[in-house]
Structure 1
Amino acid sequence: MKTSEKSIFALYILSIITFSLYYLHWIFETSGQMEDESRLPVTEVLLGIVTLGIYLIYWHYKTAKKVYHFAQSKGYKGISDQSVICLFLCLIPVVGSFASMCVIQTNINTLHLLETRKKTRQMG
């Protein structure tokens, strides 16, 4: 998994300003970071569009679970399994998916910070 840090505030504001187009872009980028060989990132976005967002509820759950499993495999104990929280957030109309996006990105940002610290310690 490749991690990249993003501002939660910027994600939320850009998603609102672009009428969710940035949200779809974020799903594309995040799917690419997961390094899942079973589906291409564009497939994830297209499935979300074709199913009118129903697939994206599952995608949020699946992605939060992947982030948690990656953190556990690396030995990071600071990240909890928030997949069920993301699932329930997505069921809230309009703002739920954005809130779930923020939860997932917060965990990715934490992973990025931990990975950066680990690399710094190995170098120094």
Structure 2
Amino acid sequence: MCIILSIVTFGIYGLYWLYCLASDINTLTGEEDSSGFKVLILSIITLGLYELYWLYKVGERLSDFQTYQGEMVDSDRALVYLILGIFGLNIVARALIQNDLNKYAYDS
């Protein structure tokens, strides 16, 4: 649904989605690495370069969280998210992050 809304609103909803993802990651991991507002503003100012960095860091944080939960880390999320971002598929990386967040939200 977030992907469709991002496309229909010409990316406006995508900015809100990025803000929410950053906030939800902080809630899940219990760390305040960077607020949703900070991620949103820096991504806009740097024309998306900060989002590439953020995607990589989120992948690391999710892998660390998965290890903390006692689960086996099945892939290097950080690299996957970064490569998707480099090729302009940020929306796919966001969908994968959202999928992981939903999985852990329902497990809790």
Q: Amino acid of the residue matched to residue 29 of structure 1?
A: C
8 Å CA contact 1:71, 1:111 repeated in 2 = no
Q: Which has the larger radius of gyration?
A: 1
Task: Determine whether 1:77 maps to 2:72.
Answer: yes
Per-residue deviation, residues 44-80 of structure 1 (Å, max 9, x unmatched)? 1000000011111111111122122112111133764
Instruction: Find the aligned partners of 2:55 and 2:49 in 1 and give their Cα distance.
Output: 10
Match of 1:41 in 2: 36
TM-fit CA distance, 1:33: 1.9
Cα RMSD for the two superposed structures? 1.7
Q: Amino acid of the residue matched to residue 18 of structure 1?
A: T
| Dislocated runs of 4+, deviation >6 Å | none
TM-fit CA distance, 1:21: 1.5
> 1:1-124 counterparts in 2 under 5 A?
10-35=1-26, 36-77=31-72, 80-93=75-88, 96-115=89-108
Which structure shows the bigger proportion of residues in helix conformation? 2
Instruction: Find the aligned partners of 2:48 and 2:73 in 1 and give their Cα distance.
Output: 30
TM-fit CA distance, 1:38: 4.3
Instruction: Find the aligned partners of 2:107 and 2:84 in 1 and give their Cα distance.
Output: 26
Instruction: Find the aligned partners of 2:15 and 2:5 in 1 and give their Cα distance.
Output: 11
Q: Structure 1 residues 113, 81: CA separation in 2 closer, same or farther (over 3 Å shift)?
A: farther
Q: Structure 1 residues 69, 78: CA separation in 2 closer, same or farther (over 3 Å shift)?
A: closer
Instruction: Find the aligned partners of 1:106 and 1:44 in 2 and give their Cα distance.
Output: 20
Q: Amino acid of the residue matched to residue 57 of structure 2?
A: K
Gaps of 5+ in 2: none
